[in-house]
Amino acid sequence: MKGDYQDLVDEISALLGAPATLENRDFQLIAFGAHDSEDDLAMDPVRTRSILTRQSTAAVRSWFEGFGIAQATGPVRIPAAPDAGVFRGRICLPVRHRGIVHGYVWLLDTEPGPDAARLDAAMEVAARIGTLLADEAKAGADLSREFQAVLTAHRGWQQDMAVAALRSALGAAADGLHAVVCVSPWYGELPQSVPGAAAVCVAPARSEGPPALAVLLRLRSAEAAGPAVAAAERLVAGGAGGTGPGPAGRPAGRAPAAGPARAGGVNGSGGAPGAGGGSTAGVATARRGLADLGAAWQEAVAAARSAAARPQGGPVARWAEIGPYRMLAALPPGAVRDPATEALLSPAHPELARTAEVFLDCAGQAGRAAAALGIHRQTLYYRLSRVEQLTGLDLDEGEDRLLLHMSLKARRLAP
């Protein structure tokens, strides 16, 4: 498949007389043409980084999406912006299939630039690329039964057989680098396409909880977690990145009046088909091969639960960054409930519980805690004394503090 993309990118480069690059919808590099120019301006920092790291930064993505490329059905010209590292203007050819954008072909703009006939021919090649990308995305959805079997099978020979079936279906790609994403809760049908997905299914996140969407994403390197996070954000948002049909392309070189363009939902219908309004997502540690998919799924579920417990951190969390929730989420329900904290955690004392949590989050530093709560230090001391009376714990003792802190954090993970 990679060779097919490269051949088509080279075809566009030959048609337009300029080196082209192909990126998927999440700005992850797929293929690029040869650069034989001796002009240093032919490789500005943005293009150099894209080729060397095989992805673009969020700022670069936001800049280019601001010109309506996610909605355009024809070539879009984007002016140079030296302050942003874009020394040369760009021509963007949206790669679409049946109205859904799957990626972008990029060329450095020239004067006078390619004529309309050559651009039309290049767009025909881009449509062929769109068919390939759509087929690749559909293949991931077609493996939903095999993927679901791996995530739900009992340990031992059943799981071994499920992994073997998925490995056989994926072929050589099974030995590549993958990241597992969990979006919870998820109701309804699977999304029609998820860029970079090897397999997609709906699976139970926890025995007593709602269903969740599981995505097995292909990665190019362990450090390149950006595409996995971007895919998770898109699924939660149900529309980021313009996956549905949009209006005709914006006039050349004209940015929209406000921020990055947004279009239809993940399934092209204007919203995610299954994500609820309070859905969150978790991204597991990248792994090579399929042997540890069960552990990766548990990491992704824990990270999604952590994102729900910490709304200030955003709707997407990575397992590597959720701190104490890595341990708390692995415990069975109710395992960290303690009689000493029951009264404090009841609906009757929300203010005292919040005060205790902020105080412990601030490592017991009264000044920081009072400032964070917006109260006088004496008020803080009074509330903490009430916490001690309710719980019987001594907040000068490290183990008592640990017990209280665990109870407060575990309460956030409760369904």
Within 8 A by CB and 6+ apart from 104, the residues are 22, 23, 25, 27, 69, 92, 93, 94, 95
pLDDT recorded at residue 218? 86
CATH number of 2-139: 3.30.450.40
Q: Which residue has the tokens 């090649």?
A: 125
Strands ordered across the beta sheet of 90-97 = 29-32, 20-24, 100-108, 90-97, 76-78
Q: What are the CA-CA distances from residue 138 to residues 147, 268, 337 (Å)?
A: 14, 14, 44
Q: Where in the chain are the domains?
A: 2-139, 141-222+270-328, 339-413
Whole-model pTM: value is 0.62
First to last CA, the chain: 43
pLDDT recorded at residue 319? 93
- Six token digits for residue 270: 């204007």
C-beta of residue 200 within 8 angstroms of C-beta of residue 164: no
Angle at 290 between CA 287 and CA 293, to 5 degrees: 75
pLDDT recorded at residue 334? 64
C-beta of residue 282 within 8 angstroms of C-beta of residue 181: yes
Q: How far is CA 352 from the centre of its chain?
A: 35
Q: What letter represents residue 330's amino acid?
A: A
pLDDT recorded at residue 371? 95
**Residues of the chain scoring pLDDT < 70:** 1-3, 34-58, 84-85, 137-141, 192-193, 221-225, 238-277, 333-336, 415
Q: Do β-strands 20-24 and 76-78 pair in parallel, antiparallel, or remain unpaired?
A: unpaired
Q: How far is CA 373 from the centre of its chain?
A: 32
HSE toward the beta carbon, residue 285, CA cutoff 13 A: 11
HSE toward the beta carbon, residue 78, CA cutoff 13 A: 30
Largest CA distance in the chain: 80
pLDDT recorded at residue 331? 80
pLDDT recorded at residue 313? 81
Look at domain 339-413 and name its CATH class. Answer: mainly alpha
pLDDT recorded at residue 55? 54
pLDDT recorded at residue 262? 29
Give strand pairing partners of 268: none
pLDDT recorded at residue 50? 56
